[in-house]
Structure 1
Amino acid sequence: MIFKKLLHIRLTTFIVTVALVSLYVSPAQHVQASPAAIGTNARAAALIDVESGRLLYSNNGDTPMRIASLTKIMTAIVAIEHGNLSDTVKTSKRAVGKEGSSIYLQLDEQMNLKDMLFGLMLRSGNDAATAIAEHVGGSEEGFVHLMNEKAIQIGLTNSHFMNPHGLDEDNHYSSANDLAKLSAYALKNEAFAEIVSTKEKRAPNPHDPWDYRWTNKNKMLNMYEGADGVKTGYTKKSFRCLVSSATRNGQKLAAVTINDGDDWADHRNMLDWGYKHFPLKTVVERGNDISGYPLAVGQSFNYPLESEEVGGVESKLVLIDSTSMQYALGDRGYLQFYLNNKLIGSVPVYDSGSTRLSLPNK
C-alpha cells in the first residue's frame, strides 16, 4: 500500500458531493507527469492514461492547431450521446457533395446511425459526418453547436469547432492536450470504443448485391499489440494527424500527434514509453481497513505512477456529519489521494461490516 500518511477531518456540516465520492476526479485536475525525456517528429504531441486522465507526456500540447479528421472523434461521441444508434439517417444533397474522403453515400440513401458511425470512423467519410450532423443536430450548424458545448463540458480550453468533418476552416482547431482529454473521455463510452477498435465492418448496401466493406485506416490496430483505436487525419494544411490507443495489463493509454511525418513509429514509441515508465499501481484496495477507525475502503484505486513517485501518494480521510442523510444511508465519508499536493482521486469509505462492501465493484 502506498500511504505516506493518513490525516482526518471531521466535518460539522454536510458538504460531500457525489462528484467527490467517485473513483477519479476530472482529468483537468490530475497531475502532469515529469518523466525521462522522449521525443517525436510531431509539431505537437500528448500521451494520456485514459482511466485516470493523467497526462503523462506533452510537447507543445496547448497550442491550437488544425486537426483534420481527428475532429471526427468529437463528431462521433456527440452523435452517440445525443442520437439513437438505431435511428435511420437519410443522406442529403449537402452530404453527398462533401469533398474529401468519402464512403460514397448516394442522395436520399438511408442507413442506421451506428453503421454510419462505422463509416465515419473507419473510412473517415466526410459525407457520413455531414449526414450524421444534420440528423442529430437538425442541421450541420446545430450539430457544431453541440460539439462546442461538449468541448466546454469536458474542459477543452484550446478547441473550437466549425464543422463535423475536419476540412480546413478558419477558427476550427484543437490542441494535442485537448485531443488527449477528448479521446480519454470518448473511449469510456462502450459504443465509441467498439467502433474505433473494429478492423473491418460490413454494412447493408442498398445499391448493389454485396455489402459495404470498410477497412479501418488506422494501421496501429495491426501494428501494435493491444491497439484498440482511435482515428487518423490529414489535410494539406494540417498534414498527418493521429490519435491511437492501446490496452495492456488493464491499462489503457492514448497517444496524440499533430503534423507528424513519422506518426506510426512515434506512436509505438510513445505507448511503449508510457507503459514502461507509468504502469498502474494499486494505491488502495477495496475492503482495506483504515488504521485507527472502524472503517473500510469502498473502492479500489489505481493510478499510473513513475517509480520515483511510488510511496509519495498521501491520503486524507474526510468524515461526514453523523446527522446527515448520507450517513443514515450508510456513507461514512471518503478517502482523498494527493500527489505533489494535488488531488488525484477519491474513494468512499464505509463501516467495516457494511453490506456495501459485498456489492459488485463499480
Structure 2
Amino acid sequence: MKKIGFVKKMFIFFLTATVLSQTTPCFVCAQESEETGSEEIRPSELYARFAVLMDAGTGRVLFSKSGQKPAPMASTTKIMTCILALENTDPAEEVTVSQEASSQPEVRLGMQPGQTFILEDLLYSLMLESHNDTAVSIAEHISGSVGAFQDLMNVKAEEIGCRDTYFITPNGLDAQDENGIHHTTAEDLALIMRYCITESPAKEEFLAITRTESHTFSDCQGTSTYSCTNHNAFLSMMEGALTGKTGFTNNAGYCYVGALESEGRTFIVALLACGWPNNKGYKWSDTRTLMTYAMNNWHYEEITPGQTETAAEEEAVYVTDGYTGGYPSAFPVKIKVTAAGETEKILKKNGEELRMKLALDQSVAAPVHRGDQLGVCTWTLDGTEVASYPLLAEQDVSTRTFAVCMNYVILKYINQND
C-alpha cells in the first residue's frame, strides 16, 4: 500500500509540472543572459512580423526580427513626404488642390479642387492626422505630379542608404506598378527616420511638427477651418519620446516608426505588419518592449586618446641613425608617441567588450619630425571598428651624420682645453 501511495504522489507531481510548463505565457519579459549579464529578447516575444531597433547615432542595428524583409509600410511613408517638403519648399508657399488630390480615400482632410492652403498647415495635416488627400497635394506641389514625386522619393531613399525600398505613393496607400509593390523593410524605415531626426537640414522643423499636440488652420480663402490632433500615443507613453508615425492598410497591417532619447542615447524602433484589427495596440506594446530593452542594455563608454597613449608606452619605437643631442651613439633612439583625436562615446551593450589594437612601427629611419604618423590605434566592438587614433611622434629626431659626430668631437676637444 505504501508503494502504491508513493507512485500516486509521483504521478501527481509530474502531471502538475507538465501542466505548468504548458501554461507559461507566450509573451514574457526579456531574460537575463548568464554569460553577459545583459537582457536578451526573442523575436517570438514581439507581435510585429518585421521589427528593428536601431541606434540613431550610428545607424547600427541593435535588434532585428526579419528586419531586411520587404513589406508594405502604409502611412509611415509620410515621414519621407514630410522631409522632402521641408527640404525642397518654403513652408509659406500656397498649395492649390487638384481633382486628383481631393478624390483620395479616407483618411482625408476633405479639401476641394481649387482650394489653396499654406504648405506648413498641410504638413500638420499630413503628420498629425495622416490625411491622404493632403499627401497628394504636397507631392503635386513639389514635383508637378505624383509620378515625378515618386522618383524624388526613391532617389532620396537611395541617398539615405535604403537597400530594399520602393515608393509609389506619397501617402502609403497600397499600390503596385511594373516595378513591384509599394514597400520598405523595417531596417530601411528606421534609416529614413534616422535621417529625418539626425541628418536632414530640416530635422528641427520635422521634430517640431511631429511633436505638436494639435494645430488649427484655415484655407487661404478663409472659408473653411480645420483642426488636427496628434495620434501618436507614444509621445505620452514613454519619457523621452521624440517623434513617430503610425500607419495602417489592409495589406500592411498596423505599422509604426518612432524615436526616443534617454541619457544622450537615441533609439529608433520600426515595426511592420504589427497586427490587424482588432489589435491596434500591438504596436505600442512592441515599441515599449524594444525601447525598454534598449535603455536597459545599451550605454555609452568613453574612449580617449590618453588610453591609447598609455598602451603605446609599452611599445618601443626606435629611430635608427637618430640624434637628439649629446653623445651621438650608434644605438637607435627611443621616442614617445602621442595619440591624436577627441574623446569618443561608444554605445555598447552590457557584456560587450571594446578591444584596442595597436599597429605601430617598431623601427623608423631618421629624420623624424614631431607629428609624423608612426602607426594607428584601432578600437573594435563585436568585431566592428568603432574608432581609430593616429599615433604621432612626440619629438623631433635628426639624422646622426658624420658631420654631427665630428662636430661633437671638436666641441668636446675645445671644451676640454678651455
Q: 1:341 aligns with which of 383, 407, 412?
A: 383
Q: 2: CA distance between counterparts of 1:204 and 1:73?
A: 23
3-state SS, counterpart of residue 187 of structure 2: helix
Shift of 1:345: 4.9
Q: 1: CA distance between counterparts of 2:210 and 2:251?
A: 25
Q: Does 1:303 align with 2:341?
A: no
Contact (CA 8 Å) 1:52, 1:303: kept in 2 or not? Answer: no
Partner of 2:402: none
What does 1:152-167 correspond to in 2, within 5 Å? 152-167=158-173
Q: 2: CA distance between counterparts of 1:140 and 1:350?
A: 55
Q: Does 1:128 align with 2:121?
A: no
Which is bigger in relative contact order (C-alpha 8 A, separation at least 6)?
1
Q: 2:228 aligns with which of 187, 192, 214?
A: 214
Q: Can you give the 5+ residue segments of structure 1 that lack an aligned partner in the other structure?
A: 1-33, 319-330, 353-362
Contact (CA 8 Å) 1:296, 1:351: kept in 2 or not? Answer: no
Select between 204-213 and 169-178 the one with higher mean Cα deviation.
Answer: 204-213
Q: 2: CA distance between counterparts of 1:124 and 1:332?
A: 57
What does 1:280-319 correspond to in 2, within 5 Å? 281-284=300-303, 290-291=309-310, 293-298=337-342, 300-309=343-352, 311-314=353-356
- Superposition RMSD in Å: 3.2
Partner of 2:185: 175
Q: In the comparison of the two structures, how many residue pairs are matched? A: 308
Shift of 1:154: 1.3
Select between 69-78 and 207-216 the one with higher mean Cα deviation.
Answer: 207-216
Residues 92-130 of structure 1: per-residue CA shift (max 9 Å, x gap): 221111112112223222223222112111110111110
Partner of 1:263: 283
Partner of 2:405: none
Q: Which has the higher helix share?
A: 2
3-state SS, counterpart of residue 240 of structure 1: strand
User: What is the TM-score with the length of structure 1 in the denominator?
Assistant: 0.75
Q: 2: CA distance between counterparts of 1:124 and 1:103?
A: 9
Q: Which amino acid aligns with 1:252?
A: T
Q: 1:82 aligns with which of 81, 88, 112?
A: 88
Partner of 1:91: 97
Are the structure 2 counterparts of residues 98 and 180 from structure 1 closer, same or farther at C-alpha, using a change threshold of 3 Å? same
Select between 195-204 and 116-125 the one with higher mean Cα deviation.
Answer: 195-204
Q: 1: CA distance between counterparts of 2:206 and 2:52?
A: 21
Are the structure 2 counterparts of residues 267 and 107 from structure 1 closer, same or farther at C-alpha, using a change threshold of 3 Å? same
3-state SS, counterpart of residue 169 of structure 2: coil
Select between 211-220 and 64-73 the one with higher mean Cα deviation.
Answer: 211-220
Shift of 1:87: 2.2
Q: Which of these two proteins has the greater Rg computed from alpha carbons? A: 2
Q: 2: CA distance between counterparts of 1:118 and 1:315?
A: 50
Q: 2: CA distance between counterparts of 1:307 and 1:66?
A: 34
Percent identity over paired residues: 30
Residues 286-310 of structure 1: per-residue CA shift (max 9 Å, x gap): 9988455345423x4223211211x
User: What is the TM-score with the length of structure 2 in the denominator?
Assistant: 0.66
Q: Does 1:187 align with 2:223?
A: no
Q: Which amino acid aligns with 1:47?
A: L
Shift of 1:204: 3.6
Contact (CA 8 Å) 1:314, 1:339: kept in 2 or not? Answer: no
Are the structure 2 counterparts of residues 168 and 287 from structure 1 closer, same or farther at C-alpha, using a change threshold of 3 Å? same
Q: 1:246 aligns with which of 247, 252, 260?
A: 260
Select between 159-168 and 241-250 the one with higher mean Cα deviation.
Answer: 241-250
Q: Which amino acid aligns with 2:385?
A: L
Q: 1: CA distance between counterparts of 2:122 and 2:392?
A: 46
Q: Does 1:105 align with 2:119?
A: no
Q: 2:296 aligns with which of 276, 282, 285?
A: 276
Partner of 1:25: none
Shift of 1:264: 0.9
Q: Which amino acid aligns with 2:124?
A: F
Q: 1: CA distance between counterparts of 2:208 and 2:377?
A: 33
Shift of 1:229: 1.3
Q: 1: CA distance between counterparts of 2:393 and 2:89?
A: 42
Q: Which amino acid aligns with 2:191?
A: K
Q: 2: CA distance between counterparts of 1:83 and 1:351?
A: 51
Q: Can you give the 5+ residue segments of structure 2 that lack an aligned partner in the other structure?
A: 1-37, 276-281, 313-336, 361-372, 395-418
Partner of 1:36: 40
Q: 2: CA distance between counterparts of 1:315 and 1:115?
A: 54
Shift of 1:347: 7.7
